[in-house]
């Protein structure tokens, strides 16, 4: 396919997403099925255009003075992919599968590319109602952070130290040019490309099937390290989901001690068994929700991890469509679920043990506010300074996360070059 045809295809896919409320992945797959002539390079380029259009939806709409799928895609090509109005006109003339020719108004909007009078949330490509939370959390850097959430993310992998060294995996994947990162010692990164460039098929490599690495954002790897799981400890991963943190902790514990992987939704736990086997983990067991599933663990755990259900604002780079779908009602629902998870998880911590609270969100309602409410209602718990834990682990020269009072830390694309994560530790006072 030529570029004109790819642009037309992106408009069609985005129209499906917008008008029929289809998830982007599904709409892209369906388009591929009904256009068999398109190769994998075409499909991936079309996906890149659609995701870029969603990442910077409000700034493109402002400049184009329209919010239609066509305007968003044309804006993406002009403002992100380096195709000015003249180039686009030549591209469209060259391919009869292209969209209709640019109108006078579109040419004028592309040429002007004006952000005049645009409010902060438009410039930063975040929903208007989220803007106060960004300003509260990131103050003078709110725009920088919002824009960082509108960039393409890299692909990060965590080398599984139970199976091999980072050097070994680096060599195995050398054709993809993996890079080391600053904060996670087992992480290799494949930076995001530009335009139509494709991400390497990391999961297709035999080393992946052998369990030598997992796909895991650097931020998730960093919070797994901050949990500080020790060999021999008893740990309850209370919201284990697909097991990303369980696997990372098991490797740090060198298979010594025991991790109990639990989730209120048994179906979310389903993939974990295969992943544990592939990774060579021998110190983790799953517990599925039924009456008394965790009774034997009450008051016995050295650490209980609540990697809580959340709005996922920290993953907006990877799932840009969720940025525009999020509502205040959904936020309120997640906050309730988080409160419930914390209230349920607390009873498993032994006196002197730790309750770790993590979200992949950067909204204060889900993070600092949640934790201060918990402390107020549970005087037998106190906050340990996560800022000090960070300094002990990384010193003063590494990238620093956000921290309003040193008690918790918030990782972000702008500060730590990761997805957004909130992390804090509560100690149950010894009896």
Binding-site residues for S-adenosyl-L-methionine: 263, 307
The answer to whether residue 341 forms part of the interface with ligand SAM (CB under 6 A) is yes
The answer to whether residue 307 forms part of the interface with ligand SAM (CB under 6 A) is yes
The answer to whether residue 344 forms part of the interface with ligand SAM (CB under 6 A) is yes
Identified binder of ligand SAM from the candidate list 264, 270, 293, 375, rule CB under 6 A: 264
Q: What are the backbone angles phi and psi of residue 240, rounded to the nearest 5°?
A: -75, -25
**CB of residue 239 vs ligand SAM: minimum separation in angstroms?**
3
Count, residues near ligand SAM per rule CB under 6 A: 18
Nearer to ligand SAM, 40 or 285 (CB): 285
Instruction: Please check whether residue 303 is in contact with residue 235, taking contact to mean a CB–CB distance below 8 angstroms.
Output: yes
**CB of residue 323 vs ligand SAM: minimum separation in angstroms?**
17
Q: Which conformational region is residue 243 in: left (phi greater than 0), alpha (psi within -120 to 50 degrees), or beta?
A: left
**DSSP state letters, 348-392:** GEEEEEEEEEEES---GGGTHHHHHHHHHH-TTEEEE-HHHHHHH
Nearer to ligand SAM, 70 or 245 (CB): 245
Which of the residues 69 through 128 are near ligand SAM (CB under 6 A)? none
Identified binder of ligand SAM from the candidate list 14, 46, 159, 240, rule CB under 6 A: 240
Q: Report the distance separating Cα 262 and Cα 304, nearest Å.
A: 11
CA nearest neighbour of 14 among 55, 68, 59: 68
**CB of residue 243 vs ligand SAM: minimum separation in angstroms?**
6
Q: Strands 421-428, 381-384: parallel, antiparallel or unpaired by DSSP?
A: antiparallel
Identified binder of ligand SAM from the candidate list 239, 294, 411, 425, rule CB under 6 A: 239
Which residues, listed in sequence order, are joined to residue 155 by a DSSP beta bridge?
A: 190
**CB of residue 238 vs ligand SAM: minimum separation in angstroms?**
5
CA nearest neighbour of 155 among 214, 210, 212: 214
The answer to whether residue 273 forms part of the interface with ligand SAM (CB under 6 A) is no
Classify residue 180 by its DSSP letter: E
The answer to whether residue 54 forms part of the interface with ligand SAM (CB under 6 A) is no
Instruction: Please check whether residue 428 is in contact with residue 350, taking contact to mean a CB–CB distance below 8 angstroms.
Output: yes
Q: Report the distance separating Cα 390 and Cα 392, nearest Å.
A: 5
CA nearest neighbour of 423 among 169, 233, 198, 245: 245
The answer to whether residue 340 forms part of the interface with ligand SAM (CB under 6 A) is yes
- Select the span of 137-145, 238-246, 349-357, 364-372 touching ligand SAM (CB under 6 A): 238-246
Identified binder of ligand SAM from the candidate list 6, 57, 245, 303, rule CB under 6 A: 245
Instruction: Please check whether residue 243 is in contact with residue 261, taking contact to mean a CB–CB distance below 8 angstroms.
Output: yes
**CB of residue 342 vs ligand SAM: minimum separation in angstroms?**
9
Which residues, listed in sequence order, are joined to residue 213 by a DSSP beta bridge?
A: 159
- Select the span of 20-28, 53-61, 242-250, 405-413 touching ligand SAM (CB under 6 A): 242-250
The answer to whether residue 337 forms part of the interface with ligand SAM (CB under 6 A) is yes
- Select the span of 117-125, 162-170, 260-268, 369-377 touching ligand SAM (CB under 6 A): 260-268
Nearer to ligand SAM, 11 or 247 (CB): 247
Instruction: Please check whether residue 218 is in contact with residue 184, taking contact to mean a CB–CB distance below 8 angstroms.
Output: yes
- Select the span of 100-108, 131-139, 233-241, 380-388 touching ligand SAM (CB under 6 A): 233-241
- Cα 418 to chain centroid distance, Å, stands at 8
Nearer to ligand SAM, 95 or 337 (CB): 337
- Strands (DSSP E) found in 187-287: 187-190, 213-215, 234-237, 258-262, 284-287
Q: Report the distance separating Cα 363 and Cα 126, nearest Å.
A: 12
Which residues are known to be catalytic? 360
For residue 318, count other CB atoms closer than 10 A to its CB: 15
The answer to whether residue 241 forms part of the interface with ligand SAM (CB under 6 A) is yes
Residues that bind ligand SAM (CB under 6 A): 238-245, 263-265, 268, 307, 309, 337, 340-341, 344
């Amino acid at each position: 396919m030529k570029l004109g045809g790819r642009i037309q295809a992106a408009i069609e896919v985005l129209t499906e997403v917008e008008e029929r409320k289809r998830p982007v992945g599904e709409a892209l797959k369906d388009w591929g099925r009904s256009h068999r002539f398109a190769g994998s390079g075409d499909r991936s380029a079309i996906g890149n255009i659609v995701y870029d259009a969603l990442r910077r939806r409000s700034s493109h709409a402002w400049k184009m003075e329209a919010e239609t799928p066509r305007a968003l895609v044309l804006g993406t090509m002009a403002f992100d992919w380096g195709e000015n109005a003249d180039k686009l006109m030549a591209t469209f003339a060259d391919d009869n599968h292209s969209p209709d020719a640019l109108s006078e108004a579109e040419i004028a909007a592309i040429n002007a590319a004006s952000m005049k009078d645009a409010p902060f949330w438009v410039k930063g490509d975040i929903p208007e109602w989220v803007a106060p939370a960004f300003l509260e959390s990131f103050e003078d850097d709110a725009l920088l952070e919002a824009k960082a959430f509108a960039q393409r993310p890299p692909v990060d992998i965590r080398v599984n130290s139970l199976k091999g060294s980072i050097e070994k995996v680096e060599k195995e994947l050398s054709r993809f040019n993996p890079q080391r990162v600053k904060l996670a010692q087992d992480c290799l990164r494949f930076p995001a490309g530009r335009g139509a460039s494709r991400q390497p098929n990391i999961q297709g490599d035999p080393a992946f099937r052998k369990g030598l690495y997992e796909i895991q954002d650097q931020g998730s790897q960093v919070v797994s390290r901050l949990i500080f799981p020790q060999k021999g400890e008893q740990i309850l991963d209370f919201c284990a989901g697909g097991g990303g943190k369980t696997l990372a902790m098991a490797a740090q514990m060198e298979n010594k001690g025991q991790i109990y992987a639990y989730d209120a939704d048994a179906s979310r736990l389903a993939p974990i068994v295969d992943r544990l086997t592939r990774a060579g983990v021998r110190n983790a067991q799953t517990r599925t929700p039924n009456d008394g599933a965790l009774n034997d663990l009450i008051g016995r755990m050295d650490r209980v991890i609540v990697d809580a259900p959340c709005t996922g604002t920290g993953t907006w780079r990877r799932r840009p469509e969720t940025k525009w779908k999020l509502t205040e009602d959904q936020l309120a629902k997640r906050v309730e679920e988080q409160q419930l998870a914390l209230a349920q998880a607390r009873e498993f911590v032994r006196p002197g043990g730790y309750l770790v609270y993590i979200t992949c969100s950067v909204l204060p309602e889900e993070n600092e506010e949640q934790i201060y409410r918990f402390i107020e209602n549970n005087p037998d718990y106190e906050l340990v300074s996560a800022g000090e834990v960070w300094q002990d682990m990384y010193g003063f020269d590494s990238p620093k996360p956000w921290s309003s009072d040193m008690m918790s830390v918030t990782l972000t694309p702008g500060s730590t070059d990761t997805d957004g994560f909130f992390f804090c530790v509560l100690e149950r006072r010894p009896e």
